[in-house]
Structure 1
Amino acid sequence: MIKHRIFYILLGIAALLLTLNVRLFWIQVAATRSWSARDIDLVENSVIQRAKAFMLDTGRGDFYDRQGQPLTGGEIPALTVFPVQERPAASQDEVDHRIVRILHTTEDKWKEFRKGLTAPAVWAEDGMTVELDAQQIAAIRALQIPQFEVTRVKERYAAPQPASQLIGYVGQDPARIVRQYMSEFQQGQMQLTSAIGGAGLEKTFEPWLHGIGATRVALFTDGFKRPLPGLATRVVSPGNEYYPLKIMTTLDLSVQRRVEQAMAALQVKEGAVVVLDTANADAVAIASRPAFHPARVDLESGAWSNRALKAVPPGSIFKTVTAAAALDEKLADPEELFDCNGTLGKYGLTCWKKEGHGRISLRDGYAQSCNIVFAQIAERLQGSSMQAYANQLGLGVPVGWKGDFMQQRDFRAWDAEERGQIFAPTTAIEDGGVKAQSAIGQRDVLVTPLQAANMVVTLLHQGEVLSPRIVHEVRFNNGRLMQSLDERRVSGLPGAVSERTADIMLDWMQDVVQHGTGKVLQSAEWSLAAKSGTAQVTDKHGRPVVHQWFIGYGPVEEPKFAVAVLVQNMPESAPNKAAVLFREVMNILADGS
């Protein structure tokens, strides 16, 4: 009996060993290309584990202008360096010397880059990937060194990046991923370290931008980190014809670039320019200063903030609201005469023209931007009426595109657009001094450049307040339309100014250029209509400075564009840079029409 038991035990062990050997044979040989129900390729995975990979493209969607020109995501040829062990024919010092000459850099910079390289990296200087020219590409390939590979790397942001504050930036924000994208996180589509939009369009359109996978280039190595003979670098991509998506903006890239160049040429340090299409209020150009690059984000500096959407005192451009309210309520006649001796004692108000304008009509008071005329008009207006007419013209309310979009209710296309204000919540709006100061765009009044430009569009549409779009379509990667954003009006406003009043204000803007404060615009390529503004403020050091404004439209005969220009924190005695910039922007638009 004992012998029989031993025999059966040995037989069982033999059977088990046979089963394990067969299984091992099946895993190692027969099923290496399709193991388990999940079709896992063991050969491929064993090689991938020894691959040194570099991300060429994150798979994130890109932005395009109205003609389909890319605003982000340009591809450039670059040097990718793989940290592999090899024994080149030449010494490492000789290789370093050659590559330094090819890259036109210094040995110190190259050695600092190569030192401690544990993962593949692209050659960059000052935080920006270096684009290789044809001669450099040929020279690198002639080296025939596996650790050096010329690849096409997708750079999300150009240098300089057009419309940088509008586009925004991406960065890591684990708390927001947990708060907003828990579903994607749980499904493995996002990690806590995933880069997501932190501001601008990158933030508002994040749900349609983060893509479905990255494109990588890999160099395959053996267990000693040496390149495997016969296995060259390989590019791995999701290969989906629908993704990543394309966000089609309303911007004109050529106009955008030239506007930013004009701001740089005039040395505008702080401010904004907004160009809207008068037909539908679509944004053609949105420029903001100080300069900012999305690859180098300094949150404390505030340069990333889009000043086209920030509300500041408007100065005399607000007289458009005051005049419209007085005309619509029939509290003043365009040709009514007023006396201006330079001061209005009871409110401590002064006119920019110290000696005064003398006897002047309301119409000429608008052209000459007389503070005393409009302070007297304010005495006839109720503060609530001033508030209502400002709202009717799209001030004190968000005007950027909002609506139901792709299963999101009340989606806002513009990031961090401020609503501005006419009166502060605790202000006694019927006080005479408050109304006098507010009537000329001081006191509590705050307006964004986007609102200011849109107010001009509103007048051109006889009081109808359109809602500016910045994106008009989202398309699949193959070009097919996914979803469009329709043209919209701003809802919930307390009525509208009359067509008659709108036409009067448009005519008065022509007066400003013909014989008022905007005569410098007479030298422009187009005939223009405009309104100037100078808001008195204090800078961060408490010093008195001014915000210079110019708003208007052109050409007068057939208006195509409405423009708002803001130059901030200028010395009180400084020449009017906003007027010059307004003229330059209009000339840019005239050249392209």
Structure 2
Amino acid sequence: MEWPSMLDKRRIMFVLLTICAAMVVLAVRLMLIQVVPGFGHASPALIRESVGQREQQVVLNSGRGDFYDRSGMPITGESYPALLVFPNKEQMKATSETETAADILGVSRKEWMDFVQQLKQPGWWTINRRTGSDSREILRDVPQRLTDSQAKRLKAIHVPGITVTDYQARYIQPYYASQLIGFIGENPERLQSQFADKLAKGQFTLTSRIGGSGLEKTFQPYVQGIGPTTLSLFTDGQHNPLGGLDVRLVDPGNDHYPTQVITTLSLPVERKIEELLERLKVRKGAVVVLDAHTADIVAMSSRPGFDPNRIRLDERGWENLALRAVEPGSVFKTIVAAAALEERVAKPDEVFRCEGELGKFGFSCWLPGGHGSITFAEAFAESCNITFAKLMQRLSSETLAVYAKKLGVLLPVGWTGDAPGQSGFRQLDGEDAGQLFASGTRVDDEGVRTQTAIGQRDVRMTPLAAANMVVTLLNGGVVREPRAVSEIRFKSGRLLYAFPEQTVSPRSGISPKTAATLRKWMEGVVDHGTGTSLQKAKWKLAGKSGTAQTGSGDLVHQWFVGYGPTTEPRFAAAVLIADTDATEAGLANAVFRGVMDILAAEPTLSASVDPTRP
């Protein structure tokens, strides 16, 4: 056997050393590519993928703009301390620190260990840690608010992967004006149909949360933001923190975003009205309060309520009944009276005869035996059905439609106009139009017209339109467009856009003389008509009551619309109590009085919002 020569040995040694050196260089280079940003001109995609494999990230703030009331009080967006947990194998061990964490949180050690052991990605210690299997229900875990003591004690212990940090909750609890503001949620179909360009640019993903209803939906383009604030922890393959990287906060750092949407609402008034509805046990209905001069929405409440973190789409508690058109009952007699006065088919002092029955169509007055001899003005105060049926015999259906339009009850009345990047922008989400006659109805049928005269049959009106009708009377017949939002501002406070006050048309309404007559008649409703229960209110009030058959057994809608105080009107309001039974008689009047008493206790509430303020 021939042994390798010394030269061969050197060659073998050289090859081995070269291979080892190459491996060392390759290993070092791979390490540097992954750790040092930009080293070796690594592609951004490679860097992102490398970092993503060891980065555990959680969103602290979505970067979405918030809504504020007219005085700057936040309606959405609340920051509070919460516990964030990153998956870490050290958490799985039974240590005194884990027992201390459970004790601080007020839970058993088993519940704490069950929580951390099921974590596959960073998670908040939440109020609700169960997930729903019902596809009709949208569940969102809400991080538990830590007390100052809990936050301090948790920061003092040393459990790998847990940190106390501020969490930005979207909805402040209790959540007031919830149906007007709305909710956000995932909607892949809408994202693909309406935001395809932003999906293509990577600004949205199919799991992005967007406005699902209310102002959250209509103002989506203005509140969506430019990116979230995130907290990241860099770990190795065993989920242990990488030395030197620690927890990092990443903020877009832009002075313009998130934006601030300034509404016309008064949050203190809204809160008191919703507490009133709760106290009076209102199950279903709506309240709208408008500024008497500008028609700005001061408050808008709807029942039943809903939890924006736990939404059942089929229960529709998120639906805003203030914008849904329903039977208005005798509130509609205001339009009939306006048409009769404007067309001069009846004088205020003309006397009508009410025997309780019309004598055809099974039509009767609400007062058994009737009102006897009664003037037109008194018939409005007493809400005499027979008088208004006879007035309708003097008006054509087309004429009545003209005056329904003049008083703004047939079309959506919310603010509509041009806004940044949009033409024909509507502030209010899904506002119904009103209705006089349904499609296919014989509008000249006498029986149809008789029922129409008292706001039944096909007639529909929204509470917002009803309140705005009162504002129209207070403004001499000029129909205004109610605003929910006065302006949008950048994060720095600089004005982005101000929504101007608008009228439907300067000459679209009824005459000032007729408007003044109807205001006087509304005072008579409270003085000696169907609204005498309001005489004990803090202000002297005026208005019109209404009761509407719903077609569902004995259930009726109760209404009261009006204004106060009568001397120098400040606010108009509409109250709808929907689907009530005999045990709830008089509830609309009671709510209206309560709402006006709340407003009377707010002497400093500004009459309007100035969108030009610096």
Matches of 1:194 and 1:40, distance apart in 2: 24
Matches of 1:257 and 1:356, distance apart in 2: 42
Query: For the Cα contact (< 8 Å) 2:55–2:234, is it kept in 1?
Result: yes
- Deviations along 1:238-285, one digit per CA (max 9) or x if unpaired, are 111111111111111111111111111111111000011112111111
Matches of 1:107 and 1:335, distance apart in 2: 81
Query: For the Cα contact (< 8 Å) 2:32–2:39, is it kept in 1?
Result: no
Matches of 2:556 and 2:91, distance apart in 1: 66
Which of 529, 545, 561 is the aligned partner of 2:542?
A: 529
Matches of 1:224 and 1:118, distance apart in 2: 12
Q: Which amino acid aligns with 2:124?
A: V
Matches of 1:312 and 1:592, distance apart in 2: 31
Displacement of 1:23 in angstroms is 8.9
Aligned to 1:194: 208
Which of 38, 58, 68 is the aligned partner of 2:72?
A: 68
Relative to structure 1, the CA distance from residue 401 to residue 19 in structure 2 (aligned partners, 3 Å threshold; closer, same or farther) is farther
Structure 1 unmatched ranges of 5 or more: 1-13
- Deviations along 1:392-441, one digit per CA (max 9) or x if unpaired, are 00011111111111121111111100002011121222222222111111
Aligned to 1:5: none
1:333-352 matches, within 5 Å, as: 333-352=347-366
Relative to structure 1, the CA distance from residue 128 to residue 28 in structure 2 (aligned partners, 3 Å threshold; closer, same or farther) is closer
Relative to structure 1, the CA distance from residue 18 to residue 289 in structure 2 (aligned partners, 3 Å threshold; closer, same or farther) is same
Displacement of 1:562 in angstroms is 0.7
Relative to structure 1, the CA distance from residue 271 to residue 110 in structure 2 (aligned partners, 3 Å threshold; closer, same or farther) is farther
Displacement of 1:347 in angstroms is 2.9
2:207 pairs with 1:157: no
Relative to structure 1, the CA distance from residue 50 to residue 310 in structure 2 (aligned partners, 3 Å threshold; closer, same or farther) is same
2:140 pairs with 1:143: no
Query: For the Cα contact (< 8 Å) 1:86–1:227, is it kept in 2?
Result: no
Displacement of 1:558 in angstroms is 1.0
Matches of 1:277 and 1:406, distance apart in 2: 26
Aligned to 1:92: 94
SS in 1 for 2:39: coil
Matches of 1:379 and 1:100, distance apart in 2: 77
Aligned to 1:518: 531
SS in 2 for 1:380: coil
Matches of 1:192 and 1:409, distance apart in 2: 27
Matches of 1:224 and 1:120, distance apart in 2: 14
2:233 pairs with 1:214: no
Matches of 1:375 and 1:454, distance apart in 2: 25
Displacement of 1:33 in angstroms is 3.5
2:579 pairs with 1:569: yes
Query: For the Cα contact (< 8 Å) 1:220–1:231, is it kept in 2?
Result: yes
Matches of 2:305 and 2:509, distance apart in 1: 37
Q: Which amino acid aligns with 2:550?
A: V
CA RMSD of aligned residues (A): 2.7
Aligned to 1:589: 599
Matches of 1:23 and 1:97, distance apart in 2: 45
SS in 1 for 2:360: helix
Matches of 2:195 and 2:19, distance apart in 1: 49
Query: For the Cα contact (< 8 Å) 1:521–1:528, is it kept in 2?
Result: yes
Aligned to 2:322: 308
- Deviations along 1:522-551, one digit per CA (max 9) or x if unpaired, are 111111111100001133xxx221100010
Matches of 2:228 and 2:211, distance apart in 1: 17
Q: Which amino acid aligns with 1:394?
A: G
Query: For the Cα contact (< 8 Å) 1:449–1:564, is it kept in 2?
Result: yes
Q: Which amino acid aligns with 2:525?
A: V
1:409-428 matches, within 5 Å, as: 409-428=423-442
Aligned to 2:293: 279
Relative to structure 1, the CA distance from residue 214 to residue 397 in structure 2 (aligned partners, 3 Å threshold; closer, same or farther) is same
Q: With structure 2 as the length reference, what TM-score do the two structures score?
A: 0.88
SS in 2 for 1:141: helix
Relative to structure 1, the CA distance from residue 393 to residue 38 in structure 2 (aligned partners, 3 Å threshold; closer, same or farther) is farther
- After TM superposition, the structure 1 stretch with the greater mean CA deviation from structure 2, 203-212 or 105-114, is 105-114
Query: For the Cα contact (< 8 Å) 2:477–2:510, is it kept in 1?
Result: yes
Aligned to 1:55: 59
SS in 2 for 1:303: coil
Relative to structure 1, the CA distance from residue 575 to residue 93 in structure 2 (aligned partners, 3 Å threshold; closer, same or farther) is farther
- After TM superposition, the structure 1 stretch with the greater mean CA deviation from structure 2, 382-391 or 349-358, is 349-358
- Alignment length (residue pairs): 575
Aligned to 2:511: 498
Query: For the Cα contact (< 8 Å) 1:32–1:42, is it kept in 2?
Result: no
Q: Which amino acid aligns with 1:191?
A: T
Displacement of 1:98 in angstroms is 2.9
Matches of 2:112 and 2:387, distance apart in 1: 68
Matches of 1:261 and 1:112, distance apart in 2: 39
Query: For the Cα contact (< 8 Å) 1:406–1:483, is it kept in 2?
Result: yes
Query: For the Cα contact (< 8 Å) 1:35–1:42, is it kept in 2?
Result: no
2:305 pairs with 1:323: no
Relative to structure 1, the CA distance from residue 108 to residue 390 in structure 2 (aligned partners, 3 Å threshold; closer, same or farther) is farther
Matches of 2:222 and 2:18, distance apart in 1: 57
Aligned to 2:395: 381
Matches of 1:590 and 1:453, distance apart in 2: 18
- Deviations along 1:339-361, one digit per CA (max 9) or x if unpaired, are 11211112321111112111111
Query: For the Cα contact (< 8 Å) 1:275–1:284, is it kept in 2?
Result: yes
Aligned to 2:502: 488
Query: For the Cα contact (< 8 Å) 1:33–1:41, is it kept in 2?
Result: no
Aligned to 2:458: 444
Matches of 2:209 and 2:152, distance apart in 1: 34
Matches of 1:222 and 1:446, distance apart in 2: 64
Matches of 2:105 and 2:421, distance apart in 1: 49
Aligned to 2:116: 114
1:165-244 matches, within 5 Å, as: 165-229=179-243, 231-244=245-258
Aligned to 1:9: none
Displacement of 1:114 in angstroms is 3.2
Relative to structure 1, the CA distance from residue 187 to residue 591 in structure 2 (aligned partners, 3 Å threshold; closer, same or farther) is same
Displacement of 1:226 in angstroms is 1.8
Matches of 2:449 and 2:507, distance apart in 1: 20
Seq. identity, %: 45
Matches of 1:504 and 1:38, distance apart in 2: 80
Displacement of 1:156 in angstroms is 0.5
Aligned to 2:133: none
Query: For the Cα contact (< 8 Å) 1:211–1:243, is it kept in 2?
Result: yes
SS in 1 for 2:555: strand
Query: For the Cα contact (< 8 Å) 2:233–2:246, is it kept in 1?
Result: yes
Relative to structure 1, the CA distance from residue 501 to residue 182 in structure 2 (aligned partners, 3 Å threshold; closer, same or farther) is same
Displacement of 1:40 in angstroms is 5.9
Relative to structure 1, the CA distance from residue 39 to residue 385 in structure 2 (aligned partners, 3 Å threshold; closer, same or farther) is same
- After TM superposition, the structure 1 stretch with the greater mean CA deviation from structure 2, 170-179 or 550-559, is 170-179
